Amino acid sequence: MNSKKRIEIFSLLKQSNPDAKTELIYNSPFQLLIAVILSAQATDISVNKATGKLFNAASSAKELSNLSVRTIESYINNIGLYKTKAKNIFLTSKFIDKNYDGAIPHDRVILESLPGVGRKTANVILNTIFGDPVIAVDTHIFRLANRINLAAGNSPLEVEDRLTKLTPKEYLVDAHHLLILHGRYICKAKNPNCSSCIISNLCEYKNKSKKVFSS
């Protein structure tokens, strides 16, 4: 795919969704961090259901770190891997409260050192909270980037690297949300809704069994 086509694709995605943003519900950077920790292998709908209960009981790092792990579990038990996530939430809350007075550090290395936080989660925080030009590659973006040959790669990190390099600079900050929402609702894993796709004329997707990996 050439650069002209990429510019057209992002321009159309931006036109169709000018206010693209996360569908996770949060009222502070800390709450978004907790929501993203919970979102691994879970839908935003289920996360919002869990955080609605959790943040009603404890909305800050200090308040969450004062809960027991078992109590945290009771609020998020509709989420997969909730026991592990409850422990990670407790430890992360304790660290953020003790070392940053509840604020989220604008530092990738520190973010990725937190329990339950990997590169994808760190990228979400860096992009959504701080406006950094980074892209968190989840299953939707990985599928979309490969399917339409936007930035094909064999791993999330490879796709991230290629997207960061190939995405037009004027769209780089918005790229994560533009792509994830398009992948979630239009270019779905099964039965992509090509008839309603605003970029269908530019898409290099040929059929469900074939991926194009050329640049």
User: Domain-by-domain residue ranges, the chain?
Assistant: 3-20+137-196, 29-128
Minimum mean pLDDT range among 30-44, 79-93, 96-110, 198-212: 198-212
Q: Give catalytic status of residue 49 as yes or no.
A: no
pLDDT score for 211: 42
Is 29-128 a domain of CATH 1.10.340.30?
yes
Q: Give catalytic status of residue 190 as yes or no.
A: no
Closest CA to 87 of 104, 109, 65: 65
* Range 103-119 average pLDDT: 97
Coil, helix or strand for 178? helix
- Say whether pLDDT at 214 is over 70: no
CATH for 3-20+137-196? 1.10.1670.10
CA distances from 1 to 24, 63, 94, 215 (A): 32, 49, 46, 6
Residue 208's pLDDT band, with cuts at 50, 70 and 90, is: very low
pLDDT score for 35: 98
Percent of the chain at pLDDT > 90 equals 89
What stretches of the chain show up as alpha helix (H) in DSSP?
3-16, 29-38, 44-57, 61-65, 69-76, 82-100, 108-113, 119-128, 139-147, 156-166, 172-185
The token pair at 194 is: 């090509």
Q: Which of 138, 165, 169, 211 is catalytic?
A: 138
Q: Which of 53, 83, 94, 120 is catalytic?
A: 120
- Say whether pLDDT at 210 is over 50: no
* Range 15-21 average pLDDT: 95
pLDDT score for 203: 86
The token pair at 215 is: 């640049």
pLDDT score for 213: 38
